[in-house]
Structure 1
Amino acid sequence: MNEFIKEGFKRIRALWYLERSGCVFCGGHPSPICPICTRELLHPELGRCLRCGKLIVQERTLCKDCTEGKGPKYLKKVIAWGHYTGCLKEFIQNVKFGANPMRMMQISRPLADWAIRELPPVDGILAVPMHSTRLAERGFNQAELIASLIHWELGLPILQGVKRVKATPPQVSLSRQERLQNLKNAFALQSKELFQGRSVWLIDDVTTTGSTLDAVAEVLYKGGAKEVYGLCLAAGFEKVLVPGFD
């Protein structure tokens, strides 16, 4: 990235922080992320399913679906920063659908600090690619935005070379089997040499079943990638294992 543009973003982010006096998510507490939002949205007391990223009880390493072999198969590990609900869900949707990408700068440091604690160092980071038609509609790829923030905070190289070659319907309303079929042959490598022997953090905003991450990871492994880890802002939780949540 051009150093002038990079420095400009740093200054914008600094000004943004100076203008804010409350929690990024709820605005109701004089701290970047207040204790209430940390507890109710980020759930540090819960574990994450290693295969799909769902929030689960700390004693488990896999959710029920992944234990039964229904989860992703190509990802070394998946982590999700928080639970896709409440103010975190509103934050993500405001960025994505409210044409407000600059808001993502507010969480770059805490997200990066958490990610480097939860995942091993890698050769680079890759955003889940967006099809050109949807990119034209939205104007930006939120996964690329997150990857850029991680790059600025941690210095990890941004990798290119995977393209979304099929325009697929949104995954949100589909069953797991429909999601898998929907993503079949949706991604393609532009060059096999780009990922040969490399370890990668694969970035997206939200994961539900891990199907999208896994579809990209499959392509990366076919291109010779060594290890692929998923990193997302938010995921659901396994209600049967975490009673008492709404």
Structure 2
Amino acid sequence: MDGLRSALRALLPRPCPGCAQPLGSAAGLCRACCAGLHPRLERHSMLSNAVTPHLVVLGEHKAVLRRAARELKYSGHRDLAAVLGQAIASGVPSEWKLRAVSAVPMSGIRQRQRHFNHAEVLARQVAAELGLPYQESLKRTRHTTQQAKLSGEARLSNLIGAFAAQSSGLMVSGKITQTLLLVDDVMTTGATLKACRDALAESGVNQVFYAVITR
């Protein structure tokens, strides 16, 4: 069935997921939608007490970006990762002095359902654009209810003990990565990124920065 879907996608013209106009020779998003990708730096009190920005985001979860994030996540259009990853990477400050890039991991059950981890595909593209290694620094220790179905404190409690750092994925040049960029698709309350950061901090990572498509 997956092979048939892939064959049909290759044969049928695909509209731009951002504006529904024909993609033509463009990949991922049409040229007009690509021109509207402007990364910005923000801060989030749940993720850091520092006054300096520590989050790269392409925009709010609406319009073009919302549709593009959904297409990448649920429809398997990996070419979107190249476009979005390039835009995200262009907004990462050199002052962060990053050593590696990692992604929010997906549970085994969910990854088997979707056949790939969209956050990892995006993170690998960001890493390639920045000339940094991609590291599998985290793993899911248990399957959790989808965060989108929860609200408020339930999001935090849902993720208690859900992530653990992988020591083999924290090493760069024989040493624990001290400064890491963590990539995900969408940030709502920041609970998922915070849970990942806490797991990384317990394993010796000093500084975590973040990058998402939408907030």
Q: TM-score, normalised by structure 2?
A: 0.76
In the alignment, what sits opposite 1:158?
134
Shift of 1:210: 0.7
CA contact (8 A) 2:185 2:213 kept: yes
Secondary structure of the structure 2 residue equivalent to 1:206: coil
Secondary structure of the structure 1 residue equivalent to 2:135: coil
Shift of 1:134: 0.5
Secondary structure of the structure 2 residue equivalent to 1:93: helix
Name which of 37, 59, 63 aligns with 1:82.
59
Unpaired segments ≥5 residues, structure 1? 1-16, 52-65, 236-246
Q: Are 1:72 and 2:13 an aligned pair?
A: no
Secondary structure of the structure 1 residue equivalent to 2:205: coil
Q: How many residues align?
A: 187
**Counterpart-to-counterpart distance in 2, 1:185 and 1:150:** 27
Alignment of 1:118-137 (within 5 A): 120-137=96-113
Alignment of 1:85-124 (within 5 A): 85-116=62-93, 120-124=96-100
What amino acid sits opposite 2:181 in the alignment?
Answer: W
Alpha carbons of structure 1 residues 193 and 104: separation in structure 2 relative to 1, 3 Å: closer
**Counterpart-to-counterpart distance in 1, 2:66 and 2:169:** 37
Q: Which stretch shifts more, 154-163 or 184-193?
A: 184-193
Shift of 1:192: 8.0
Shift of 1:105: 1.7
**Counterpart-to-counterpart distance in 2, 1:153 and 1:144:** 14
Q: Are 1:226 and 2:206 an aligned pair?
A: yes
Shift of 1:161: 3.3
What amino acid sits opposite 1:109 in the alignment?
Answer: Q
Q: Are 1:213 and 2:213 an aligned pair?
A: no
Could you list the structure 1 runs, at least 4 aligned residues long, displaced by more than 4 angstroms after superposition.
Answer: 73-76
CA contact (8 A) 1:74 1:214 kept: no
Shift of 1:162: 1.5
**Counterpart-to-counterpart distance in 2, 1:105 and 1:43:** 15
CA contact (8 A) 1:192 1:223 kept: no
Alpha carbons of structure 1 residues 197 and 153: separation in structure 2 relative to 1, 3 Å: closer
Q: What's the RMSD between the two structures over aligned residues?
A: 2.8
Shift of 1:128: 0.6
Shift of 1:102: 2.1
**Counterpart-to-counterpart distance in 2, 1:79 and 1:193:** 23
**Counterpart-to-counterpart distance in 2, 1:121 and 1:160:** 19
Cα deviation digits, residues 86-142 of structure 1 (max 9, x gap)? 11101110111112122222333332112246x612110110111111011001111
In the alignment, what sits opposite 2:170?
194
CA contact (8 A) 1:74 1:217 kept: no
**Counterpart-to-counterpart distance in 1, 2:157 and 2:49:** 16
Unpaired segments ≥5 residues, structure 2? 1-22
Identity of aligned residues (%): 26
Name which of 15, 19, 25 aligns with 1:19.
25
Q: TM-score, normalised by structure 1?
A: 0.67
**Counterpart-to-counterpart distance in 2, 1:74 and 1:192:** 29
